[in-house]
Structure 1
Amino acid sequence: MSKQRFSSIWDAIEDTPEEAENMKLRSVLMTALKNHLTRTEMSQAQAAKLFGVTQPRVSDLMRGKINLFGLDALVNMATAAGLHIEMRVIESA
């Protein structure tokens, strides 16, 4: 059995590099949103109203249910929360 090293957990558990990159971006956005809501002490009901979603949807976000969220939805929520998103694209070696 050989020991294989990965640059992230997503590289290790996803089937393709594309899926891994998507999960990396989603996890960054979810973490930023969760941290923002915690820092501002916003209730889930307040966040739901701000994001235009249901309170159970915000609960899913806070519980880290990443498979329930696409990039578009997370970008929309982050923007509604007043967060600024920057993206950097680099060529891999």
Structure 2
Amino acid sequence: MMLRSALMMALKDHSIRAGMSQADAARHFCVTQPCVSDLMRGKINLFSLDALINMAVAADMRIESKA
């Protein structure tokens, strides 16, 4: 749950810093605009860890694991 939360916050911050609209972010993350809306609203239960990683990879974001 913590990994999903961290990825959601990183994706949201990325799109906000880039000044993207939800439609722009959807294209950038290779998802639909309603999916980005759910991300922005923090609906964590709608996203698997795999889906969030795929979105981050599509956005060329770097993912690190600190174990």
TM range (shorter): over 0.9
Q: Give the TM-score taking structure 1 as reference length.
A: 0.68
Greater RCO (Cα-Cα under 8 Å, separation 6 or more): 2
Cα deviation for residue 27 of structure 1 reads 0.3
Deviations, residues 9-68 of structure 1 (Å, cap 9, x unaligned): xxxxxxxxxxxxxx1000000000000000000111111122221100000001100000
Q: Which amino acid aligns with 1:39?
A: R
Number of aligned residue pairs: 67
**4+ aligned runs moved over 4 Å, structure 1:** none
Matches within 5 A, 1:38-53: 38-53=16-31
Q: Secondary structure at the match of 2:31?
A: coil
Letter of the 2:64 counterpart: E
Identity of aligned residues (%): 67
Q: Distance in 2 between matches of 1:88 and 1:72?
A: 18
1:24 — aligned with what? 2
1:82, 1:52 → 2: CA distance?
A: 12
Pair 1:71 & 2:49 matched: yes
Q: Which one has a bigger Cα radius of gyration?
A: 1
Structure 2: gaps of 5 or more residues: none
Q: What residue in structure 1 maps to residue 64 of structure 2?
A: 86
Structure 1 unaligned segments of length 5 or more: list them: 1-22
Given the two structures, how large is their TM-score scaled by the length of structure 2?
Answer: 0.93
